[in-house]
Amino acid sequence: MAAKLVSLIVLLAFLASPPACEGDIICFNGWLRLPIQDPRLCPPGSRSRINGRTRALVPVPRPSGLGLGLGYYNNRSSRSYCPRAEGIVRDAVSKAVAAQPGIGAGLIRLFFHDCFVRGCDASVLLTTTNSNNSDTEREGNPNKNSLRGLEVIDAAKAKIEAACPGRVSCADIIAFAARDASSILSNRRINIRMPGGRYDGRESFANETDQLPGPFSGATVLLSNFEAKGLTSEEMVTLSGAHTIGRARCAFFSSRLSEMDPAFAAKLKAQCNDDNTNVDQEHVTPEVLDKRYYQDVIDGKALFTSDAVLNSAETIKQVTENAKKAGAWERKFERAMENLGKIGVKTKADKGAEIRKVCWKVNN
């Protein structure tokens, strides 16, 4: 009886609160779709809300990356001198992607999921924190049982520590790994100028992963997510192009098969044995980081709601340019990834910043 009463109270509280929606009822900022559709809860024209807030009226400053620099570990006069660092990361990524191309997509995703929560501080890697909490970002709904490439980061870190103990941060290793994975998967067509100099954070909380845009996010939510990090609408469209690689769970798009190209939807339906089945996010060149994703958006073959909404009046011009103009998306992606890597960076001067000895736990 008590359990029923609690459930009723939760339901009433949900119904009484302003909906966080764009059409369907969406919770956890675009990562979970509740199995109800009710126009009373999401009337036409209702505004999206993020964690109970509408879009910020005060613009967030652009990421500055203050303290970062290209070739950061090559300065002989610096205490951070470690000339082999970037080469060690590149070698670890190359071997991992050669053995399993999907790891490359995982490393790019890992970088995004790190930088969007607490900034680029490797908080996404932690299982042991300064607060001794077990509910770290790795346990958050967008990350739980889905992060890939962790072993690549750990392998690179171990070799770097053997060569240059206490000098190279896990945050920089994640950034360099995403850079190198992008280069390899694009057949060297994408070359990101990724600076170094980030320090590692000491805290990580699962509930903060609600800042990450999800597969059910609508256009307003997506834009709000990116604006909150100081990124632009164009960078949002550009970084979404990383969905041209990797795999997607059928649970994240099966509810919108009727909205897709009919023949393509039928093919997906045949592939999706259940909600936990994974399919390629892009069906023509699924292991190549290229602009093909944008043609899928135009043709009604994008999987996620967050992809399909880019075929709207506000963003279709950028989508079309990326799809049709050779080299345009690749150059934009290079710049957007560099700016992503400047979000909320910690440096030696910041309280609670360190160079971890092991990437999954804070130093004693």
Fold designation for 84-210 = Peroxidase; domain 1 (1.10.520)
* Cβ pair 339, 62 in contact under 8 A: yes
Residue 43 has pLDDT above 50, yes or no: no
Residue 25 has pLDDT above 80, yes or no: no
61 annotated among ligand-binding-site residues? no
Active site residue 283: no
Residues of the chain with CATH 1.10.420.10: 213-340
Q: Which residues contact 11 (CB under 8 A, 6 or more apart)?
A: none
CA distance linking residue 42 with residue 24, whole number of Å: 7
Beta strands in the chain (DSSP E): 21-22, 24-27, 32-33, 247-249, 278-280
Residue 49 has pLDDT above 50, yes or no: no
- Averaged pLDDT for residues 271-286: 95
Q: Tokens at residue 240, please?
A: 């979404």
CA distance linking residue 344 with residue 63, whole number of Å: 7
Residue 20 has pLDDT above 70, yes or no: no
Task: Please write the tens of the pLDDT for every residue from 168-221.
Answer: 999 999 999 999 999 999 999 999 999 999 999 999 999 999 999 999 999 999
CA distance linking residue 24 with residue 335, whole number of Å: 34
Q: Tokens at residue 126, please?
A: 């932690």
180 annotated among ligand-binding-site residues? no
- Does the predicted model carry a pTM greater than 0.85? yes
- Averaged pLDDT for residues 43-47: 35
Tell me, what's the pLDDT at 21?
Answer: 37
197 annotated among ligand-binding-site residues? no
Task: Please write the tens of the pLDDT for every residue from 129-151.
Answer: 999 999 999 999 999 999 999 99
| CA-based nearest residue to 123, from 63, 210, 205, 68 | 205
Task: Please write the tens of the pLDDT for every residue from 280-298.
Answer: 999 999 999 999 999 999 9
Q: Report CA 71 to chain centroid distance, whole Å.
A: 25
The DSSP 8-state label assigned to residue 42 in this structure reads: S
Tell me, what's the pLDDT at 55?
Answer: 47
- Residues composing the chain: 364
CA distance linking residue 234 with residue 287, whole number of Å: 24
DSSP 142-180: TTTTT---HHHHHHHHHHHHHHSTTTS-HHHHHHHHHHH
> Which CATH number fits the domain 213-340, given the four candidates 1.10.420.10, 3.40.50.150, 2.60.40.420, 1.20.1050.10?
1.10.420.10
Tell me, what's the pLDDT at 349?
Answer: 83
**Active-site residue among 33, 113, 229, 342?**
113
104 annotated among ligand-binding-site residues? no
Q: Which residues contact 328 (CB under 8 A, 6 or more apart)?
A: 291, 321, 322
Q: Which residues contact 109 (CB under 8 A, 6 or more apart)?
A: 147, 148, 242, 246
347 annotated among ligand-binding-site residues? no
Q: What is the mean pLDDT of the chain?
A: 88
135 annotated among ligand-binding-site residues? no
Strands 32-33 and 247-249: unpaired
The pLDDT-based confidence of 59 (bands split at 50, 70, 90) is confident
Distance (Å) of CA 318 to CA 112, 119, 228, 313, 338: 21, 27, 21, 10, 19
- Averaged pLDDT for residues 207-236: 95
* Cβ pair 201, 121 in contact under 8 A: yes
Residues of the chain with CATH 1.10.520.10: 84-210
